A and B are shown apart, each in its own frame.
Chain A
Amino acid sequence: MKQEYTLEILADNEFSILNRIVNVLNRRRVRIKRLLAHETEGNFKSGRAILLLYTTSDMIEKVKHQIEKLIEVEEAVYTEGSHLFYELLERSNNKQVI
């Protein structure tokens, strides 16, 4: 059964990394409902992407591992539901360090 998941990704901020993360999802037809990506405050060499996805529990586990296989990605963590996404979004809107 499909549901919402918040996927948080920490990565080195190299050119095209966001593109490759999204490609992993596109190839598996995983729906991206919302996406927030930014450089780490005070360190442009690393960054974070937070995605709100709509998919199955099987698929979220698979894409987590596939995204972690990307060389620049340090970690990908997911939680069920959208509350974490909106929490992080709000902090980002308020220009808080997240």
Chain B
Amino acid sequence: VAEAKDIAPAVAKAFYIAKTGRPGPVLIDITKNAQNELIEEAEYKKCESIRTYRPKPVLSMAQVDAAAKLINKASRPYILAGQGVLLSGASNELIAFSEKTGIPVACTLLGLGAFPTDHPHYAGFLGMHGNYGPNVNTNECDLLIGIGMRFDDRVTGNVAKYAKQAQVIHIDIDKAEINKIIKADVAVHADAKEALTALTGRCDRKQHPLWLKSFQHLNSIEFERVINKDIHPEGELTMAEVIHKISEITKGESILVTDVGQHQMVASRYYKFKNPLTQITSGGAGTMGFALPAAMGAKMGKPDQQVIAVIGDGGFQMTVQELGTIMQYKIPVKILVLNNNFLGMVRQWQQLFHEKRYSFTEMSNPDFVRLNEAYGISAERVTDRDELDGAIKRFLEADATRFLEVVVGKEDNVFPMVPAGSGVAEILLEAPKK
């Protein structure tokens, strides 16, 4: 934007682009000249269309009919729900669709919250560090229905070993995502809410009890071998037990903002999200340092809801200066740092795939409690299991901004894990024995 008269239309256009279609950020570049220029009158007129931009595809009933036909004859159908479901506000439509058709639903990282975790049709969390059932059964289903998700590499693992046996229905508002990674047998280029409403009307009422049970069976194996040990550990504190406790106390109803790394995967695995739009994380961008500023934004947007930022010791220092903003505007967010004194996820890869050659992953951290106190934020550190319950209680009950650091095991790993290059069914429940 080089002239002041163009600023208002540019901002109006930016809001229109940011909020429609597949929503996202818009960059506006305003020259210094334009900023200093004086104009008579700046009129802000809402932008409602751009000639060359068609954000909302028209739902094709032929595509819906083709999809319904596949769904009605499938015996092991399986839904993968992504952030598109949340962005289109289609959670209730997804629940109605799943209940009518009896199809199990797994959520991607950004799709968490799109389907309630306590619903009997909930299959689990998908992806590299997701649950056992949803990953293994990807290669067992006969129909895969991706809704508002993009078959990202963290979901698919090795594409050559991904759901080869299944037919694929892909519902997405962004045409460029369809057939990009996984070829769709039926593509529905549409808004998730419209597509789900139309599909629910055209699909038969069905149940798939045995198929649902196979997810529960696989997830119970994971519970035995991984989850139970994670949430009821002996020895050092674990990230999982902290998140598990917070999830139970908040009943999965708080807004959880996570950074990037091990704590992000643990939080996504162990926090039992009940409601849409309660999980905020940077997803594919993978930006460490995201959680603290994002949590501030979440709290400003939803001042009546409890907002908890879960951050690792590495990511916390990347945007630690935002404590100043929190102090200045008195934003009552909860800040939980799970400190293992490592860049834990990178270390995990170095351990498992690079023969433990740790390179620049060990951290010498400052005293986080004193650092927060310098910003006038009440803070506490926990190193012992006996102190954990009391500390979490004080953390969650505080009215003002509150910081809690939990010092956890230095070299704990996040499992299950689909190693890079492996297929989803080759998901590991523990480190391979050398």
CA gap between A62 and B50 in the complex, in Å: 23
Q: Are A62 and B52 in contact (CB under 8 A)?
A: no
Tally A-B pairs: CB < 8 A.
Answer: 22
Q: Are B176 and A66 in contact (CB under 8 A)?
A: yes
Q: Hey, which bits of chain A sit against chain B, CB under 8 A?
A: 11-12, 61-62, 65-66, 68-69, 71-74
List 7 A–B pairs whose Cβ atoms lie within 8 Å, in order of A's numbering.
Answer: A61-B179, A62-B180, A65-B175, A65-B176, A66-B176, A69-B174, A71-B52
Closest Cβ of chain B to A21, distance in Å, is 13
- Residue numbers in A under 8 Å from B51 (CB-CB): 12, 74
Q: Are A73 and B176 in contact (CB under 8 A)?
A: no
CA gap between A12 and B50 in the complex, in Å: 11
Interface size classification for chain B: 10 to 19
Q: Name the CB-closest residue of B to A45.
A: B51
CA gap between A9 and B175 in the complex, in Å: 17
Q: Name the CB-closest residue of B to A67.
A: B176
CA gap between A61 and B183 in the complex, in Å: 12
B147 within 8 A of A: no
Q: Are A11 and B175 in contact (CB under 8 A)?
A: no
CA gap between A62 and B183 in the complex, in Å: 12
B53 within 8 A of A: yes
Q: Are B179 and A73 in contact (CB under 8 A)?
A: no
Q: Are A73 and B180 in contact (CB under 8 A)?
A: no
Closest Cβ of chain A to B159, distance in Å, is 12
- Residue numbers in A under 8 Å from B175 (CB-CB): 65, 68
Report, nearest first, the 3 A-B pairs whose CB atoms are least far apart: A65-B176, A74-B52, A71-B53
Closest Cβ of chain A to B149, distance in Å, is 17
B17 within 8 A of A: yes
Closest Cβ of chain B to A8, distance in Å, is 15
Q: Are A71 and B176 in contact (CB under 8 A)?
A: no
Q: Name the CB-closest residue of B to A11.
A: B52
CA gap between A71 and B180 in the complex, in Å: 20
CA gap between A69 and B53 in the complex, in Å: 8
Q: Are B176 and A72 in contact (CB under 8 A)?
A: no
Q: Are A68 and B50 in contact (CB under 8 A)?
A: no
Q: Are A72 and B52 in contact (CB under 8 A)?
A: yes
Closest Cβ of chain A to B183, distance in Å, is 10
